[in-house]
């Protein structure tokens, strides 16, 4: 493991930003810290970088087994990329990238020619070779972020930390840049940890996703794991759209609305009220009733996309979404006001009613 932190806590006055977080970041992979604002993800990143100090009693912060918790930020050799680039505005692109090499003490400072070559290699890597003499104000947002990345890489960091690296960019550039970052990483394979609140970004770019909420880690795993096998209600809710129904567990069966479904999750759970989570794509539409289906009326259609998102309402006023393919949408002749039987193909229930996750 390239970065390991144990039991890190951080309070700002009465607010506890991190509550004893332990984390392992695998070598040469991209890991995403995903969570809503206020979940503590940026605080954790800044503590790893050495830009913030954890509370007394926190555990070690290790880079490749070496405890760096007592080290100053300058000595940790991290590459840090800020959301708003933090480029030095009075320096050219070249000077920005060369900064980390030029501020080294004389006996460690590379020769001029070495710096020159290195900066140009890096600018080539981030595809900005022709821009060396421009100032940051003459670059687009995406270009600036690439300069920031080149600048961070120039000091040959042991780990690369990125704080919402695409957060300040518009949607199209953001998508391009994250594909590009993924490809760049495949080329240079540096241990990277990036913070994001955008689940698509985390799932697309990262090899490993760590979902955070209210100063704790909810789940860590591959993108597939956290998406298809969420460990908590929060992760279920946060990753992708989900319908939430109030239901009950009885005799190993899940009951909600007018439906009763046998479900393996329910078998080992205590009887009582629960919340039932069903993703829109886990619902099927039928013209005729099935054993475990409920009747609903179409109240809204959003057809501009790879799938068609339908909004449905039951007689009792329960509103939920279902995704159907464009083919099904056409063959069933779905229209607003149309009545269908909706059948869940899959659903999830979680132990206990934790009431912090619904928003």
Partner 1 sequence: MGLRPSTAEPRWVRLLLVSVTLLFLGAFLVTPLVAVFVEAFRKGLGAYLASFADPAVLSAIRLTLLAAGIAVPVNLVFGLAAAWAVAKFEFPGKSLLTTLIDLPLAVSPVVSGLIYVLVFGLHGWLGPWLQAHDLQVIFAVPGIVLATVFVTVPFVARELIPLMQEQGTEDEESALTLGASGWQTFRRVTLPNVRWALLYGVILCNARAMGEFGAVSVVSGHIRGKTNTVPLQVEILYNEYNFVAAFAVASLLAMLALVTLAAKTLVEWRVAAAPASIFAAGEKP
Footprint of partner 1 (CB under 8 A) = 49-51, 73-74, 76-80, 82, 84, 86, 88-90, 99-100, 103-104, 135-138, 151-152, 154-155, 168
Least distance to partner 1, CB of residue 90, Å: 4
Least distance to partner 1, CB of residue 283, Å: 37
Which residue number, 86 or 301, has a Cβ lying nearer to partner 1? 86
Least distance to partner 1, CB of residue 217, Å: 24
Least distance to partner 1, CB of residue 144, Å: 9
Least distance to partner 1, CB of residue 112, Å: 17
* 189: its two tokens: 């394979």
CB burial class (10 A; 0-12, 13-18, 19+) of residue 233? buried
* 89: its two tokens: 């505005």
Which residue number, 72 or 270, has a Cβ lying nearer to partner 1? 72
Least distance to partner 1, CB of residue 190, Å: 15
* 38: its two tokens: 């206020």
Scanning the structure block, which residue is given the tokens 């998406």?
227
Name the residue among 160, 200, 210, 197 with its Cα closest to residue 178. 200
Which residue number, 82 or 329, has a Cβ lying nearer to partner 1? 82
Which residue number, 137 or 291, has a Cβ lying nearer to partner 1? 137
Scanning the structure block, which residue is given the tokens 């913070």?
195
Query: E strands of the chain, at which residues?
Result: 3-12, 15-25, 30-34, 61-63, 66-67, 78-81, 159-163, 192-196, 208-213, 216-221, 243-250, 253-256, 259-262, 272-278, 283-286, 294-302, 307-313, 319-325, 339-344, 348-349
Which residue number, 65 or 137, has a Cβ lying nearer to partner 1? 137
Which residue number, 47 or 242, has a Cβ lying nearer to partner 1? 47
């Amino acid at each position: 493991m390239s970065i390991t932190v144990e039991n890190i806590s951080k309070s700002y006055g009465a607010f506890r930003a991190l509550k004893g977080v332990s984390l392992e970041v695998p070598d040469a992979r991209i890991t995403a810290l995903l969570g809503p604002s206020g979940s503590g993800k940026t605080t954790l990143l800044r503590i790893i970088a050495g830009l913030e100090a954890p509370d007394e009693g926190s555990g070690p912060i290790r880079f490749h087994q070496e405890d760096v918790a007592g080290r100053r930020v300058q000595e940790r050799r991290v590459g840090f990329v800020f959301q708003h680039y933090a480029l030095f505005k009075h320096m050219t692109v070249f000077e920005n990238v060369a900064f980390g090499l030029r501020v080294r003490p004389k006996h460690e400072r590379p020769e001029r020619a070495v710096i020159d070559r290195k900066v140009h290699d890096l600018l080539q890597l981030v595809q900005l070779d022709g821009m060396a003499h421009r100032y940051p104000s003459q670059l687009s947002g995406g270009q600036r972020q690439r300069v920031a990345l080149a600048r961070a890489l120039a000091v040959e960091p042991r780990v690369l930390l990125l704080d919402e690296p695409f957060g300040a960019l518009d949607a199209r550039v953001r998508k391009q840049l994250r594909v590009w970052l993924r490809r760049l990483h495949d080329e240079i394979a540096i241990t990277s940890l990036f913070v994001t609140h955008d689940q698509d970004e985390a799932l697309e770019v990262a090899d490993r996703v760590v979902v955070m909420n209210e100063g704790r880690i909810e789940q860590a795993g591959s993108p597939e794991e956290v998406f298809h096998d969420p460990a908590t209600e929060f992760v279920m809710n946060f990753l992708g759209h989900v319908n939430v129904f109030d239901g009950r567990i009885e005799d190993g069966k899940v009951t909600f609305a007018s439906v009763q479904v046998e479900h393996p999750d329910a078998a080992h759970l205590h009887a009582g009220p629960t919340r039932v989570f069903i993703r829109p794509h886990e619902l099927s539409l039928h013209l005729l009733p099935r054993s475990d289906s409920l009747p609903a009326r179409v109240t809204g259609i959003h057809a501009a996309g790879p799938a068609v998102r339908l909004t449905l309402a039951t007689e009792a006023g329960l509103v939920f979404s279902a995704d159907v393919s464009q083919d099904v949408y056409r063959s069933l002749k779905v229209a607003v006001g149309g009545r269908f039987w909706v059948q869940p193909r899959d659903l999830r229930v979680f132990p206990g009613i934790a009431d912090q996750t619904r928003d």
